[in-house]
């Protein structure tokens, strides 16, 4: 063999060795089969390895997973027992043991296994499962102890701190509860959504005489949160109950910088409580502190000023905004409030701008509007469209009065009688029915209404 052929032979041997080297080993080949979903081929190869005495981690783990895939419970448990005997400290084994205890309803062993997993490999996943089960079992004592242990672990979260704070609060340990709830708020700085623990923190700060801190924290939550009207209202109410109207107004004013909805919601509440002066202060603060309100916000402001019995401010804002810049629905709302405030002249000015579709969405107002103008057919049409059963009690009485003005006493009585027969007459409407029957001398209707009210007639009809 000359030198050239010798070199060629060497190159050939090297390439052959390299090719053999690049071929996947058995583990890699099985992994590729599983990746490509050739489960039966992979299963066959693994069974062959197992039958030949192979008890490596890879073989046992993949066999277990395939038995799990095929739902072979007995084989899963057998494989797990072998795996546990060969590799007792393996995390995969410990996890599958926890799954086994859960599937077979061995809940105490399941909890103990999760605790063992947390010691070996502290993961949030294990902690969440453990805490969820303890909550379900109502085992507060064990849950508290575990949460206290978790405080030094890396997965300790705002939810854990909040839960621990609530447990301490329910146990009457206000000092510990305050510490944990403050930590919850600190951990969760990037998420300012209002939550039960945050509301508990707010209440506890008020209870312990820290109203200023409570308002400061609440302002931060309100400015960054979403859909917080109900909780915002609750917090401002609690500040008011403790005589801190100044903080309630400051909280509302802070909130408006991000979102006007909570402030308007509070104004509605104050108007219902007849706290008109405070409602006006909030509205004035909002208007003075809002450089470029949207047309929708302006419309809402106008309605609220009317509800707060301040028509001059409402009219000034309406003129500044321009009727053409207010939506059809908002314009009808303003008209409805003007009618309640007896602002007849301005109502007549707006009426040509009312759209029929917008009026159809507020049919009782439309009926009253047309009844005042003597347009009985239109008024009757809108009265028929009014969903009486969904109206508030005092609004139902308004509907009866409008119906009576359009149709007269006799038809109103017949309509109320029919509504009673169909079970659609509320207690407030029953009283109106009784009064009208008494006025018309209809004995049967009169006594029927009083019986339905559960009392004796105010007077006897002959």
What CA–CA distance (Å, rounded) separates 284 from 267?
A: 11
Q: Which residues, 6 or more positions from 164, have their beta carbon under 8 angstroms from its beta carbon?
A: 144, 147, 148, 151, 180
CA distance 447 to 459: 10
Tokens of 252: 């509302």
Q: Are 334 and 303 in contact (CB under 8 A)?
A: yes
Output the CA–CA distances (angstroms, integers) from residue 156 to 14, 124, 135, 284, in the order listed: 56, 8, 17, 45
pLDDT of amino acid 15? 45
* pLDDT for res 179: 93
Displacement of CA 400 from its chain's centroid (Å): 37
Distances (CA, A) of 416 to 59, 404, 420, 423, 435: 81, 11, 6, 10, 11
Residue 408, number of CB atoms within 10 A of its CB: 10
Neighbour count for residue 167 (Cβ, 10 Å): 19
Q: Is 238 helix (H, G, I), strand (E, B) or coil?
A: helix
HSE-up of residue 158 (Cα within 13 Å, Cβ side) = 16
The pLDDT tens digits along the chain (462 residues) read 556 555 555 655 554 444 434 334 566 767 776 676 766 777 677 777 767 776 777 777 777 777 677 777 777 778 777 777 778 777 887 888 788 888 888 888 888 888 888 888 888 888 888 888 888 888 888 888 888 888 888 888 888 898 999 999 888 889 999 999 999 988 877 665 667 888 888 889 888 888 888 888 877 777 666 555 656 667 777 777 777 777 777 777 666 665 677 678 778 878 887 888 878 888 888 888 777 888 888 888 888 888 888 888 888 888 888 888 888 888 888 888 888 777 888 888 888 888 888 888 888 888 888 888 888 898 889 888 888 878 887 788 888 888 888 888 888 888 888 888 887 777 778 888 778 878 878 778 777 877 777 766 656 655
**Exposed (0-12), middle (13-18) or buried (19+): which is 159, by Cβ within 10 Å?**
middle
Q: In whole angstroms, give the CA distance from residue 455 to residue 457.
A: 7
Q: How far apart are CA 208 and CA 198, in angstroms?
A: 15
- Cβ burial of 128 (10 Å; 0-12, 13-18, 19+) is middle
pTM: 0.52
The answer to whether residue 53 is domain-embedded is: no
Domain count across the chain: 1
State which residues form the domain around 401.
364-462
CA distance 129 to 107: 12
Phi, psi angles (nearest 5°) of residue 19: -65, -40
Nearest in space to 50 (alpha carbons), one of 42, 40, 60:
60
**How many CB atoms are located within 10 Å of the residue 405 CB?**
16
Cα end-to-end span (Å), the chain: 140
Contacts of 386 (CB under 8 A, 6+ apart): 363, 364, 367, 399
| Residue 400 belongs to a domain | yes
* 409 lies in some domain: yes
Say how far apart CA 260 and CA 252 lie, in whole Å: 9
Residue 403 C-beta-side C-alpha neighbours within 13 Å: 24
* Residue 273 belongs to some domain of the structure: no
Tell me the C-alpha distance between 323 and 351, whole Å.
11
**Whole-Å CA distances, 7 to 11, 12, 129:** 6, 9, 65
Task: Give the up-direction half-sphere exposure of residue 141: CA atoms within 13 A in the CB hemisphere.
Answer: 0
Where b means 16+ CB within 10 Å and e means fewer, 425-457 reads bbebbbbbbbebbbeeebeebbbbbbeeeeeeb
- CA-CA distance, 246 to 260, in Å (whole number)? 19
Provide the token pair at 161: 């701190």
**Is residue 6 in a domain?**
no
Q: Provide the 3-class DSSP secondary structure of residue 350.
A: helix
In the DSSP assignment, the letter for residue 326 is S
pLDDT score recorded for residue 269: 78
In a domain, residue 172? The reply is no
d(CA 75, CA 60): 11
Determine the pLDDT at residue 227: 52
Residue 160 forms part of a structural domain:
no
Reduced to 3 states, what is the DSSP secondary structure of residue 454?
coil
- Please indicate, yes or no, if residue 442 is contained in any of the structural domains: yes
């Amino acid at each position: 063999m000359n030198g050239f052929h010798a070199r060629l032979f060497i190159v050939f041997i090297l390439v052959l060795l390299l090719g053999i080297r690049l071929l996947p080993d058995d583990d890699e080949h099985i992994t590729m089969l599983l990746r490509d979903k050739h489960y039966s081929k992979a299963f066959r190869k693994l069974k062959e390895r197992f039958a030949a005495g192979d008890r490596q981690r890879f073989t046992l783990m993949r066999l277990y997973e395939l038995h799990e895939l095929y739902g072979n419970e007995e084989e899963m448990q057998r494989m797990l027992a072998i795996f546990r005997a060969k590799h007792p400290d393996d995390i995969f084994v410990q996890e599958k043991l926890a799954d086994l205890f859960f599937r077979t309803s061995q809940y105490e062993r399941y909890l103990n296994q999760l605790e063992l997993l947390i010691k070996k490999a502290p993961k949030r996943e294990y902690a969440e499962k453990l805490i969820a089960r303890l909550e379900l079992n109502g085992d507060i004592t064990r849950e508290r102890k575990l949460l206290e242990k978790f405080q030094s672990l890396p997965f300790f979260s705002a939810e854990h701190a909040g839960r621990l704070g609530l447990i301490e609060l329910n146990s009457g340990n206000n000092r510990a509860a305050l510490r944990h709830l403050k930590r919850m708020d600190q951990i969760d700085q990037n998420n300012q959504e209002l939550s039960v623990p945050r509301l508990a923190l707010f209440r506890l700060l008020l209870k312990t005489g820290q109203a200023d801190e409570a308002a400061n924290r609440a302002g931060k939550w309100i400015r960054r949160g979403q859909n917080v009207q109900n909780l915002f209202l609750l917090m401002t109410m609690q500040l008011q109950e403790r005589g801190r109207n100044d903080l309630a107004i400051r909280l509302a004013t802070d909130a408006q910088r991000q979102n006007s909805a909570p402030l308007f919601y509070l104004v509605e509440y104050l108007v219902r409580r007849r706290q008109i002066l405070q409602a006006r202060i909030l509205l004035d603060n909002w208007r003075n502190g809002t450089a470029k309100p949207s047309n929708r916000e302006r419309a809402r402001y106008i309605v609220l000023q009317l509800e707060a019995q301040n028509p001059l401010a409402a009219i000034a804002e309406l003129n500044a905004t321009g009727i053409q810049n207010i939506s059809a629905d908002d314009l009808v709302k303003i008209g409805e409030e003007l009618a309640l405030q007896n602002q007849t002249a301005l109502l007549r000015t707006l009426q040509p701008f009312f759209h029929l579709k917008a009026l159809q969405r507020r049919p009782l107002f439309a009926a009253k509007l047309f009844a005042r103008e003597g347009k009985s057919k239109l008024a009757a049409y809108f009265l028929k469209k009014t969903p009486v059963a969904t109206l508030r009690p005092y609004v139902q009485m308004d509907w009866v009065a409008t119906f009576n003005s359009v149709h007269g006493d006799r038809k109103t009585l017949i309509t109320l009688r029919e509504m009673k027969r169909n079970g659609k007459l509320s207690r407030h409407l029953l009283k109106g029915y009784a009064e009208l029957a008494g006025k018309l001398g209809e004995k049967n209707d009169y006594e029927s209404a009083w019986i339905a009210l559960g009392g004796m007639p105010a007077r006897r009809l002959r």
